[in-house]
Amino acid sequence: MNKLSREKQIKIVAALVEGNSIRAISRMTDVARNTISKLVLDMGEACQKYHDENVRGLTTKRVECDEAWSFVAKKDKALHTDEQGTFGIGSVWTWVAIDADSKLAISYLVGNRDGEDAHVFMKDVASRLTNKIQLTTDGHRAYLDAVDRAFHGDIDYAMLIKQYGNPPQSPDTRYSPGEVTSIKKQRVLGRPVKEYVSTSYVERQNLTMRMSMRRFTRLTNGFSKKVEFHMASVALHFMYYNFVRIHQTLRMTPAMSAGVTNHLWNMGNLVDLLDTRDLAGKLAALEI
């Protein structure tokens, strides 16, 4: 990104994490959309790399998991026959695991809502923890085998199963979700403490994610057109959420609360990850 000054990069990244679209940022900063798109991809790669290498060795006690729906290019009902079953076109899901105490986003994965990605996701979650945890997920059946295999049964695990009724059929409730009619806490493995069986924190984080990324905003044309940009935006969001954005209840960032970092990051620190990535690439090229 030699064509953009560090100050301009900071302004663009700050606008991105606050939910502005690429077109809007282009108008505000007088930077070409293609240049901003390239910055999104570069930042996504750098953020994913830093998260993967540094959000580890966690002493987390309680974890909540959930999956947030979105779509890329078009909705499932508009898919052509040859596009069905192709990842990156149609529905995509963002799997999220959050520490219920520090609010740290431990792991995330953009993929399908199936057993294969459930295994990949839960294996990654387990690899970042150092002690036995209590885990709560929703009632998605793919978690059952994935959790057992990732933690080898050494976990206190429960499902929070919600039953929904049909929303009233009227113009005022056309886009409203079904009302929750019942909630069941189901023990799956170990001895989970019933009062801690909850997915409230991860669901609240999913709301933050939708509010912070234009690509997740419903009923607009701001959705991702290519899955690589969607994945990059998710990586940028979670880096900002963990290290830069102060949690109002904690009065510090989740990364500080979890002991992953001992200081508050700013937007400049976030942009500086690009230099770390570029340096690693140059060193790798020299070794070749």
Instruction: Give the closest residue to 94 by CA, choosing from 104, 105, 108, 107.
Output: 108
Residue 102: which residues within 8 A CB-CB, separation 6 or more? 60, 250, 254, 257, 258
Q: Work out the angle between the directed axes of helices 33-54 and 22-29 (0-180°, nearest 10).
A: 110
Q: What is the pLDDT of residues 218-262, one digit of tens each?
A: 777 888 999 999 999 999 999 999 999 999 999 999 999 999 999
99 three-state secondary structure: strand
pLDDT over 90 (residue 68): yes
Q: What is the pLDDT of residues 71-124, one digit of tens each?
A: 999 999 999 988 888 899 999 999 999 999 999 999 999 999 999 999 999 999
Q: What is the pLDDT of residues 118-145, one digit of tens each?
A: 999 999 999 999 999 999 999 999 999 9
Q: In Å, what is the CA distance from 107 to each residue of 44, 118, 219?
A: 15, 12, 28
Domains of the chain, each with CATH number or no CATH? 6-287 (3.30.420.10)
3-state percent helix, strand, coil for the chain, nearest multiple of 5: 45, 20, 35
The secondary structure of residue 197, as a DSSP letter, is: -
b or e along 244-270 (b: 16 or more beta carbons within 10 Å of the residue's beta carbon)? bbebeeeebbbbbbbebbeeebebeeb
Q: 41: buried, middle or exposed (CB in 10 Å: 19+, 13-18, 0-12)?
A: middle
Alpha helices in the chain (DSSP H): 6-17, 22-29, 33-54, 115-127, 142-151, 200-212, 227-243, 254-257, 267-271, 273-287
Q: What is the pLDDT of residues 159-199, one digit of tens each?
A: 999 887 776 666 666 656 667 778 899 999 999 999 999 99
Tokens read off for 278? 């570029």
Other CB atoms within a 10 A radius of the CB of residue 190 amount to 16
pLDDT over 80 (residue 40): yes
Model pLDDT, residue 167? 66
Cα–Cα distance, 231 to 65 (Å, whole number): 18
* Stated pTM of the model: 0.89
Cα–Cα distance, 243 to 256 (Å, whole number): 7
DSSP line for 49-72: HHHHHHS-SB---EEEEEEEEEEE
Q: What is the pLDDT of residues 2-22, one digit of tens each?
A: 479 999 999 999 999 999 999
